[in-house]
Amino acid sequence: MLKLFIGNKNYSSWSMRPWVLMRQAGIPFEAVLVRFDAFDTGSQFKQTLSSLTPTGKVPLLVDGELAIWDTLAIAEYLAEQFPEKQLWPQTVAARARARSVCAEMHAGFSALRSHCPQNIEASLPEVGALIWRDQPAVRADVARLVSMWRELLDQHGGPLLFGPFTIADAYFAPVCLRLKTYALPVPAEIAAYVERVTALPVVVDWTAQARAEQDFRPFEEPYRLAPDTTHTTLSRRPSGAG
C-alpha cells in the first residue's frame, strides 16, 4: 500500500494537499505522521525522514522502493498511476491551466504563506487585521487569488475551480483555511468557494483531526504564548514542509 508521510495536520499545509487529494479520489494509502519537533539535523523529525528523502521534508509518498517528494511531483505521480480517477481536468486546455495555477501556488504567494502560516486550531482575526493593514504583499497575493479563482469559476461554472474536484482544489484547500483562520476579506463569490472547499468531507475530516492534535508547537507560533492567548507578532513558514 502507498505510504504518505505527513507533518502535524494543524500546521502542515503541504502535507494536507496530497492527503486531501488521495482521500477525495478514494486512493488507498497509509498516513504516517512525523511530528514537528524541530527542523535541525539532529531532530527526530529530520532523522526519521533523512533515510527516506534527501530533502528531509514532508510530504513524502512511498510506493514500494520508490520515494516521491515534493507535492507537485506526488500529484503528477498519482495522476499517472490512477488515470481513472481523473485527478486533472479532462481537456488539454483545462489541464494546462490547472497545472499552471498549481505551479503558481507552489512557487508563489510567498507573502501569504509567510505571514499567514497554516494554523487550523486557531482563530486569528486580530492578527489577520494587522497583516491586512501592514502587509501590502499579502493584499496583493489575495487579490491575485481572487482574480484567478473568479476567472476559473466563471469559465467552468463551478462548483469548484474546474467544475468537479481536481488537483487544483486540493492545492488551494489550505489557502481556503488560511483565509478563514485570519479572516482575510474576499468578495462574496470567493467566500462561497472557500465555504464549498472547507465543507468537503475530506477537508472537514482533516480539520477535525488537526484540532484534535492539541500539539501546540511554540516555534511554529511565535505570535501566541499558548493556544488561548493571541499576540500580534507575525510568523514564518515552517522549514519542515516541502
Half-sphere exposure in the Cβ direction for 236 (13 Å, CA): 5
| Per-residue model confidence (pLDDT) at position 45 | 83
Is 92-230 in the same CATH topology as 2-85?
no
- pLDDT tens, position by position, 5-34: 999 999 999 999 999 999 999 999 999 999
- pLDDT tens, position by position, 165-224: 999 999 999 999 999 999 999 999 999 999 999 999 999 999 999 999 877 565 556 555
Residue 63 three-state SS: strand
Q: Which three cell numbers stand for residue 6?
A: 505527513
Residue with cell 469559476: 153
| pTM beyond 0.85, yes or no | yes
At the topology level, CATH places domain 92-230 in Glutathione S-transferase Yfyf (Class Pi); Chain A, domain 2 (1.20.1050)
Question: What b/e sequence results for 123-135 when a residue is b if at least 16 CB atoms lie within 10 Å of its CB, and e otherwise?
Answer: ebeebbebbbeeb
Looking at the predicted structure, is the pLDDT value of residue 73 above 50?
A: yes
Strand pairing category for 29-33 and 2-6: parallel
pLDDT above 90 covers what percent of the chain? Answer: 78
Instruction: Please say whether the beta carbons of 39 and 7 come within 8 A.
Output: no
- Residue 36 pLDDT grade (very low, low, confident, very high; cuts 50, 70, 90): confident
Across the chain, mean pLDDT equals 90
- Which tops the pLDDT comparison, 67 or 42? 67
Tell which CATH classification among 3.40.50.2300, 3.40.50.720, 3.40.30.10, 2.30.42.10 matches the domain 2-85.
3.40.30.10
- Residue 46 pLDDT grade (very low, low, confident, very high; cuts 50, 70, 90): confident
Domain boundaries, the chain: 2-85, 92-230
Q: Which three cell numbers stand for residue 147?
A: 482574480
